[in-house]
């Protein structure tokens, strides 16, 4: 079974180009982007496409357009860093350095609380999904890709089980973090075996609806992740 190539449409491609361009720092906050017509000729697309791409970036808080003045890059404070595409662009620029640390830092702040909330609020169905994700992890310790996919599903299920929709976008952070773990730290089968019991403890605490224990278990997991990242960095 093949996944269709189905390349992105033009405005998506241009959005990616411009997004990466900005994230790379080649266009700094305050800078004016080339005007529409120039972008058209430079990229070889119509104004329609350029405008739709710029609108997408504007929706992510990255640019702002006005007649006569042009389209400027907004200050970084307004960028939606938790947007999946922004994280992706950021990964391609920053993956070797501080991004993994920052991702882990945010997870450490949030996921223990998420686990705590989930322990008291999760529906039986939520717990089933957590359990099932854990099983998939356990069954795929040999396959790094499949393991990490299940790992992501595990954490997403917990975020979802908080019953607080505002926790949902943190899934993007988890995904970026796991992605970094795959790309940066040469993740091995052994890593999977080490992190498995940490997840089991989380799942068990949730099943027992023990909020304190769930928080602690998640915190342990996060500290392990941070620690492994630190080891990797020390090896450089």
Partner DNA sequence: GCTTTTTATTTGTATGATGATATTATAATT
Partner DNA sequence: AATTATAATATCATCATACAAATAAAAAGC
Residue 37 interface partner, choices DNA, its own copies, none, CB cut-off 5-8 Å depending on type: DNA
Return contacts of 62-66, CB within 8 angstroms, 24+ apart.
62/19, 62/22, 62/86, 63/22, 63/33
Residue 46 interface partner, choices its own copies, DNA, none, CB cut-off 5-8 Å depending on type: DNA
Question: Which residue stretch of 31-39, 81-89, 146-154, 203-211 sits at the interface with its own copies (rule: CB under 8 A)?
Answer: 81-89
CB–CB of 228/185 below 8 Å? Answer: yes
Whichever of 14 and 90 has its CB closer to DNA, that residue is 14
- Considering only 51, 108, 121, 209, the residue that binds DNA (CB under 7 A) is 51
CB–CB of 111/152 below 8 Å? Answer: no
Site string for DNA, 54-93 (x = CB under 7 A): x----------xxxxxxx----------------------
What is the rounded CA–CA span in Å between residue 236 and residue 233? 5
Paired strand residues for 66? 70
CB–CB of 220/198 below 8 Å? Answer: yes
Question: Residue 52, interface with its own copies (CB under 8 A)?
Answer: yes
Paired strand residues for 72? 32, 64
Whichever of 12 and 185 has its CB closer to DNA, that residue is 12
Site string for its own copies, 100-139 (x = CB under 8 A): --xx-xx-xxx--xx--x----------------------
């Amino acid at each position: 079974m093949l996944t269709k190539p189905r390349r992105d449409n033009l405005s998506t491609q241009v959005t990616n180009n411009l997004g990466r361009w900005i994230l790379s720092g080649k266009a700094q906050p305050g800078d004016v982007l080339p005007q529409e017509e120039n972008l058209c000729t430079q990229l070889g697309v119509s104004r329609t496409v350029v405008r739709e791409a710029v609108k997408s970036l504007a929706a992510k808080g990255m640019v702002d357009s006005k007649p006569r003045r042009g389209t400027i890059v907004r200050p970084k404070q307004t960028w939606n860093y938790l947007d999946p595409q922004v994280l992706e662009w950021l990964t391609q620029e920053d993956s070797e350095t501080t991004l993994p640390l920052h991702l882990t830092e945010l997870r450490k702040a949030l996921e223990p609380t998420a686990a705590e909330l989930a322990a008291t609020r999760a529906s039986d169905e939520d717990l089933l999904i957590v359990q099932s994700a854990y099983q998939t992890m356990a069954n795929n310790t040999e396959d790094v890709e499949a393991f990490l996919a299940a790992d992501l599903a595990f954490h997403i299920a917990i975020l979802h089980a908080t019953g607080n929709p505002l926790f949902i976008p943190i899934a993007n952070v988890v995904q970026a973090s796991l992605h970094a773990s795959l790309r940066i730290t040469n993740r091995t089968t052994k890593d999977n075996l080490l992190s498995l019991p940490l997840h089991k403890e989380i799942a068990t605490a949730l099943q027992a609806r023990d909020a304190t224990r769930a928080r602690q278990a998640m915190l342990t997991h996060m500290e392990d992740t941070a620690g492994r990242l630190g080891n990797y960095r020390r090896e450089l």
